[in-house]
A and B are shown apart, each in its own frame.
Chain A
């Protein structure tokens, strides 16, 4: 009995997954627990496991394809099994073919063989379904290669299509404003992509002697990079946060002299090297336990005060950033925090973070100190109410007992959602964080 492998829900927020890699090919045997594919979700690249043994009969999606949640990825079953009914609806053409009487499919077979002798040699058991699928695929391929429009599946009004062709615009690069993303006349008229000038590279070359193309020259060249799932998620979530959450910012300057000393002595004992960031994480966790208002979320018609303190740490990766969570941060010691952050950051860079390792934070810390950034503001990571932006520790002259002496200072900026947190509450929290970092022994209490 063949089964369909659907796109699984690999993260709470994913709507589609991109097949990053197939680990199997059609005809391969798989057994339960095998990782058959890697799928890029909006959060991470995840493994797709099979729960049944069998033979891979059909890979419906190709590498690079975006498959909607629940969409068909592959079919697994017994070797040689008829899976035409499972493909029903997936490809209208093949489904119809299957419904024809046996006789007509035999005729098809004959025709197919006659028309392409080399093809029939390739296939010992001719299958009208797959035969046609392949044919469709090949036709589509030749279509797209011969078609300079390169707009096979773009929805566009007939007029927009004609205008795009006349103006050498690639329809696939025009964002459609009509129903279902239909590209309309207006979209073509307002399209300002430099593609317009570049679309027909041969023509300007020919015309060069006649008249120069100032437009094309002034626009210069560029590269269009497809938007990854992670960038899409960052774009969506942070735009939403920045545009809907009323952010306000408070900056505090912290004397890090004692923290530096404490870290030095701790690192002499600890197996794991404790970073300044770990100290900040710990200080925040302790302060969050004390200031519950900060450890909250805006829920629309109520405010949720979280009982647990789960601090997320922003980690930069190639494609963007992720925010793995150190759970129950306030209950963990510095070396435990240090070890966990290190492990999570490593996983993040290897794209191995699991969605549950990124969910459920109540507060986030973003540290750009290592780049020498003095101070900055961060966008709140929803559903958190606050995010702390941590700057570098600077050597600064400070006044102590009327004397200018060398000092170590670090600026941190708290971005708060004003719907949840008010200025005074944020200030109280920052004040606690400062006193903890200035007297690190208090964190141990």
Chain B
């Protein structure tokens, strides 16, 4: 199986889908002539031309709205945000129009659109460019949210997102674009709402998605040295969430630590924690713990940033607490 970078895996999904379906177009800042701010769309302008790979002005609200209108009229647009921090400007189109038009029109229109781009903190980019948006988008009915952690997942999930007839928020990460991993060639589909057990273990279940999955993976490797075998579940799709997989795992391990790179209040960890305590209460041997960002914006200074972003040690501490091995 070929080893591809995360950006190449996404590109493979985009290109393969666009070759199959003429109604797919991609729009965003620098996606065409510049080959993409993070070189995700490299070579696509050359292959598909300016009618399907479209450079937009710096106007997120505008091109998000054009995308929604195009979707209403039969196209399957993919909107690239240079980062989801900029998509905040276009949120009215995403949350009010894309998410609700099918519902408000009684099913007369569908909005097969993908909003994709990097999400979350990526080092010293300052408070306004370091936000994780998955819980916010997952909050609103009508939006599906995906956040892959590895190149192979990214390709299979993006294909699913493009083929879905409803709006999908597809989250990536600047820091993962160069990450290499095995990516199946050709038709590779990962169904919506299907998580994956990325590491089997019997002592604790760790739920981690997106970029921070890799921190959890590192923590699990450290924990194994102390004889604690963590099971890591990557839900991959944030909404709908593969709660069943987590419940089954918790039935086995009796302990749960949720790792989430967004803020604690109303975060993904809160929802997963709530549902698991409700549905797997009798299987829990310890309170559910979570590791996430502090309830504070991203600091710029390197030392503060390192303190702010969760590291493996925090995950190890949480696991040792729930396994009563501290």
Contacts and interface: CB of A to CB of B under 8 A. Distances in A.
Interface residues of A, number: 11
Given A162-B282, A177-B324, A184-B324, 14 more contacts: A157-B254, A157-B284, A157-B285, A158-B281, A158-B283, A158-B284, A158-B285, A159-B283, A159-B284, A178-B286, A178-B324, A184-B285, A184-B286, A185-B285
Interface string B259-301: 0000000000000000000000111111000000000000000
B324 to A, nearest CB: 6
Interface string A145-174: 000000000000111111000000000000
A88 B75 CA distance: 66
Nearest to B254: A159
A187 to B, nearest CB: 10
A186 B285 CA distance: 9
Contacts of B284: 157-159
Contacts of A185: 254, 285
Interface in A174-209: 177-178, 184-186
Interface in B162-201: none
Interface residues of B, number: 8
A160 B324 contact: no
Nearest to B250: A159
B212 to A, nearest CB: 27
Q: What are the 9 tightest A-B residue pairs by CB atom distance, in nearest-first order?
A: A185-B285, A162-B282, A159-B285, A157-B285, A158-B281, A158-B284, A158-B282, A184-B285, A159-B254
A158 B281 CA distance: 6
A177 B286 CA distance: 12
5 contacts: A157-B254, A161-B282, A162-B282, A177-B324, A184-B285
Interface of A: 157-162, 177-178, 184-186
A191 B22 CA distance: 67
* Most chain B beta carbons < 10 A, residue from A157, A162, A184: A157
Interface of B: 254, 281-286, 324
B318 to A, nearest CB: 14
B60 to A, nearest CB: 46
A409 B61 CA distance: 106
B274 to A, nearest CB: 15
A159 B286 CA distance: 8
A162 to B, nearest CB: 4
Contacts of B324: 177-178, 184, 186
A161 B254 CA distance: 13
Nearest to A183: B285
B276 to A, nearest CB: 11
Contacts of B283: 158-159, 162
A184 B254 CA distance: 10
A257 B60 CA distance: 110
Contacts of B286: 157, 178, 184
A182 to B, nearest CB: 8
B137 to A, nearest CB: 32
Contacts of B254: 157, 159, 185
Nearest to B286: A157
Nearest to A179: B324
B252 to A, nearest CB: 12
Contacts of A157: 254, 284-286
Contacts of B282: 158-159, 161-162
A162 B286 CA distance: 13
Contacts of A159: 254, 282-285
Nearest to B277: A158
A162 B254 CA distance: 12
Contacts of A177: 324
Contacts of A186: 285, 324
Contacts of A160: 285
A315 B303 CA distance: 65
A156 to B, nearest CB: 9
* Most chain A beta carbons < 10 A, residue from B281, B282, B285: B285
A185 B281 CA distance: 13
A160 B324 CA distance: 14
Contacts of B285: 157-160, 184-186
Nearest to A178: B324
A139 to B, nearest CB: 23
A178 B254 CA distance: 14
A162 B284 CA distance: 10
Nearest to B281: A158
A210 to B, nearest CB: 29
B69 to A, nearest CB: 51
A186 B286 CA distance: 11
A287 B254 CA distance: 64
Nearest to A188: B285
* Most chain B beta carbons < 10 A, residue from A159, A178, A185, A186: A159
Nearest to B284: A158
Nearest to B326: A179
Contacts of A184: 285-286, 324
Nearest to B282: A162
B325 to A, nearest CB: 10
Nearest to B280: A158
Contacts of B281: 158
A160 B287 CA distance: 12
B257 to A, nearest CB: 15
